């Protein structure tokens, strides 16, 4: 029971008040339903009693006061009253359903949005250690699980308990002893059913949650690596991996769906058996059949009224149990969302801080870094300083830690030791203000499925994009001829991850994207490695014109790329050495 109430701990007080209103509305709704069902029977029985008014003088005089004369009028009035009752009841039910759906869907959207915001704001290291498939699953189903498959069923469970309690109370008035016996038996039955299925359902829930992430991963990987898959003829492998995890997922759901149907049959069988056995026992003890009828009538009534309720209680409780694993996994995130809402704190997502002033010098002091969980120390001791406006070449063998160093310089990774100072100020004092200075061309460019223009001004709304600037940077990145040849020009679509572009074109879009930001510091990680030497030379020439104004750090393996640099920083075995280019030659 405790775990069922856990869902309410993720709400702020004002949200809890809304929950209370919804539960209250649901209870009223359940009572109206009960009245609605109950009201048909008296009308039918009234139709079979033509002498009803004659037998009930007080009702007759009261009815006469309202203009109801005779049996026919009475039935017509009763029917009209019922029409009214049903209309009101269903209007109410529509309102209550809307209230419930609005609440859960609004919060589902809100929580999924908050989860997405949360993941966007997490440090880069978090993303290095988490598969996107898991994050996809969480954002996709996190809000849905919490609200549509846990919160609403919990509401329904509470209402069901209240409705069953109400029916039971009515029975107490009719026949207290039977009511207590029946309730005791039902409670024991519900308890036994919940207890005996609990472990299996919890296990199925765990499996379905785990494999939901795994099958999404295989889906991503199989379709994401479609070219390699096709060339290596590994379609079957990816299909099998996908099917294997999806089968685990499907089997867990299958098990749950079946287990959740069983209680209905078990409850019905046990209740009918109990009633019939009682008749057999009574008869064998010598009770006359006629004497059993009154007791049996009440018992049967109680049992058949409470049976559906018992079944729903078991079903809802099991359903919640089944969905619990993802909720438990995300519980801390939910609490964090609540705490942000209570304290009116926002996640830092916007480019809100100003720019860190960079006028004189960039210095790197005793930088050290190792990836958590890996013994290898990637950077042992990196120290150098360069003046603003320098063109710095970063060289060293593959795996020497060049990209890792750049990730630290970008503020994506936090160094284990050492500092990066800009004009003497530690960039970690306000990393976002430092980042505001930088544009970066990574080793592999990620292109969004949009137009060339949207890719260059990445993250800007189409209406905010400065087309003249786009054209200017396209020219600088040697892309103007290519774009001019497109019928749609800068509005040509690049395809998912830029599949419609060549490797070199993708790289040049990356360069244009970095130049569009008009940075103070430009960091290039093998940014021209896919280009032919003529194009590379031309782009390097353009970038070199920026030298002096902006500081450029460029990682390159090719000697020609860095021919014109002012300094070289050579990475080897975790250490870096600053070389004047003439030393290098």
- Residues near ligand ATP (CB under 6 A) are 128, 371, 374, 378, 396, 398-404, 443
Q: Please choose which of Mg ion, ligand ATP, none residue 461 contacts, taking the beta carbon within 5 to 8 angstroms, the exact cut-off set by kind.
A: none
What is the closest distance, in whole angstroms, from the C-beta atom of residue 525 to Mg ion in the complex? 6
**Which C-beta is closer to ligand ATP: that of 130 or that of 230?**
130
| Contacted by 519, from Mg ion, ligand ATP, none: CB < 5 to 8 Å by type | none
How buried is 162 (Cβ within 10 angstroms: 0-12 exposed, 13-18 middle, 19+ buried)?
A: middle
Query: Between 251 and 403, whose beta carbon lies closer to Mg ion?
Result: 403
Q: Which is nearer to Mg ion, 403 or 538 (CB)?
A: 403
The residue (of 376 and 463) whose beta carbon lies closer to ligand ATP is 376
Count CB-CB contacts under 10 A for residue 575. Answer: 15
Residue 374 contact among Mg ion, ligand ATP, none, beta carbon within 5 to 8 Å by kind: ligand ATP
Angle between helix 70-121 and 13-47 (nearest 10) = 160
Smallest distance from ligand ATP to CB 383, Å: 17
29 versus 401: smaller Cβ distance to ligand ATP: 401
- Give the one entry of ligand ATP, Mg ion, none that residue 400 binds, where binding means its C-beta sits below a cut-off of 5 to 8 angstroms depending on kind: ligand ATP
**Of 497 and 558, CB closest to ligand ATP:** 558
Q: Residue 119 binds what, of ligand ATP, Mg ion, none (CB under 5 to 8 Å, by partner type)?
A: none
The label of the residue with tokens 């061309």 reads 441
**In whole angstroms, what is the distance from residue 64 CA to residue 74 CA?**
10
Q: How many residues make contact with Mg ion (CB under 5 A)?
A: 1
What does 26 bind: ligand ATP, Mg ion, none (CB cut-off 5 to 8 Å by kind)?
none
* Residue 378 binds: one of ligand ATP, Mg ion, none (C-beta under 5 to 8 A by kind): ligand ATP
Token pair, residue 555, equals 């990682």
Among 3, 166, 383, 403, binds Mg ion (CB under 5 A): 403
DSSP string, 6-58: GGGGGS-HHHHHHHHHHHHHHHHHHHHHHHHHHHHHHHHHHHT-TTHHHH-HH
Half-sphere exposure of 58 (CA within 13 A, CB side): 0
Chain position carrying tokens 């469970």: 157
Q: Give the position of tokens 């103007």.
A: 480
Q: Given the rule CB under 5 A, which of 39-47, 306-314, 399-407, 535-543 is the region that contacts Mg ion?
A: 399-407
Q: What is the DSSP string of 273-291?
A: HHHHHHHHHHHHTT--HHH
Q: Which span (66-74, 247-255, 397-405, 425-433) binds Mg ion, by CB under 5 A?
A: 397-405
Q: How far is CA 329 from CA 128, 143, 333, 416, in A?
A: 19, 12, 8, 29
> How many C-beta neighbours within 10 Å does residue 304 have?
13
Specify the residue, 269 or 560, whose C-beta has the smaller distance to ligand ATP. 560
By CB under 5 A, name the binding residues for Mg ion: 403
């Amino acid at each position: 029971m405790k775990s069922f109430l856990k869902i309410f701990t993720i709400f702020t007080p004002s949200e809890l008040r809304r929950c209370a209103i919804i539960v209250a509305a649901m209870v009223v709704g359940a009572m109206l339903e009960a009245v609605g069902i109950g009201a048909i029977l008296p009308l039918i029985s009234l139709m079979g009693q033509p002498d009803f008014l004659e037998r009930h003088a007080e009702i007759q005089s009261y009815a006469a006061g309202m203009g109801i004369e005779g049996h026919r009028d009475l039935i017509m009035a009763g029917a009209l009253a019922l029409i009214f009752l049903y209309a009101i009841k269903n209007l109410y039910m529509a309102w209550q359903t809307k209230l419930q759906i609005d609440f859960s869907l609004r919060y589902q959207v809100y929580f999924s949005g908050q989860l997405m915001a949360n993941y966007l704001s997490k440090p880069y290291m978090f993303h290095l250690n988490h598969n996107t498939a898991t994050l996809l699953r969480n954002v996709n189903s996190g809000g849905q699980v919490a609200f549509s498959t846990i919160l609403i069923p919990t509401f329904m469970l509470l209402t069901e308990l209240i409705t069953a309690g109400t029916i039971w109370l009515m029975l107490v008035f009719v026949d207290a002893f039977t009511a207590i016996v029946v309730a005791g038996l039902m409670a024991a039955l519900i308890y036994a059913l919940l207890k005996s299925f609990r472990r299996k359902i919890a296990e199925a829930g765990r499996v379905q949650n785990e494999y939901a992430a795994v099958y999404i991963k295989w889906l991503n990987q199989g379709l994401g690596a479609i070219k390699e898959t096709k060339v290596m003829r590994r379609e079957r492998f990816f299909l099998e991996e996908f099917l294997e995890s999806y089968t685990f997922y499907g089997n867990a759901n299958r098990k749950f769906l079946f287990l959740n149907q069983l209680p209905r049959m078990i409850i019905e069988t046990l209740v009918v058996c109990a009633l019939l056995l009682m008749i057999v026992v009574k008869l064998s003890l010598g009770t006359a059949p006629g004497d059993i009828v009154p007791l049996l009538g009440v018992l049967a009534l109680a049992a058949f009224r409470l049976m559906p309720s018992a079944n729903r209680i078991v079903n809802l409780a099991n359903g919640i149990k089944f969905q619990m694993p993802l909720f438990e996994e995300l519980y801390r995130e939910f609490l964090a969302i609540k705490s942000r809402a209570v304290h009116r704190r926002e996640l830092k997502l916007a480019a809100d801080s100003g720019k860190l002033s960079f006028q004189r010098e960039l210095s790197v002091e005793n930088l050290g870094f190792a990836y958590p969980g890996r013994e290898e120390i990637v950077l042992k001791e990196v120290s150098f300083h360069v003046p603003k406006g320098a063109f710095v070449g970063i060289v060293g063998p593959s795996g020497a830690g060049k990209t890792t160093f750049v990730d630290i310089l970008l503020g994506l990774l936090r160094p284990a030791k050492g500092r990066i100072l800009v004009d003497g100020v530690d960039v970690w004092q306000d990393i976002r203000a430092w980042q505001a200075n930088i544009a970066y061309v990574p080793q592999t460019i990620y292109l969004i499925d949009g137009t060339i223009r949207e890719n260059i001004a990445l993250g800007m709304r189409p209406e905010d994009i400065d087309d003249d600037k786009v054209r200017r940077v396209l020219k600088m990145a040697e892309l103007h001829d290519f774009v001019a040849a497109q019928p749609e020009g800068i509005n040509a679509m690049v395809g998912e991850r830029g599949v419609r572009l060549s490797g070199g074109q993708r790289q040049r879009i990356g360069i244009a994207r970095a130049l569009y930001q008009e940075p103070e510091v430009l960091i290039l990680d093998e940014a021209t490695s896919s280009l032919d030497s003529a194009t590379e030379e031309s782009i390097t020439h353009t970038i070199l014109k920026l030298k002096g104004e902006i500081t450029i750090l460029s990682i390159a393996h090719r000697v020609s790329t860095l021919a014109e640099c002012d300094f070289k920083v050579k990475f080897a075995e975790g250490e870096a050495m600053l070389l004047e280019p003439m030393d290098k030659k």
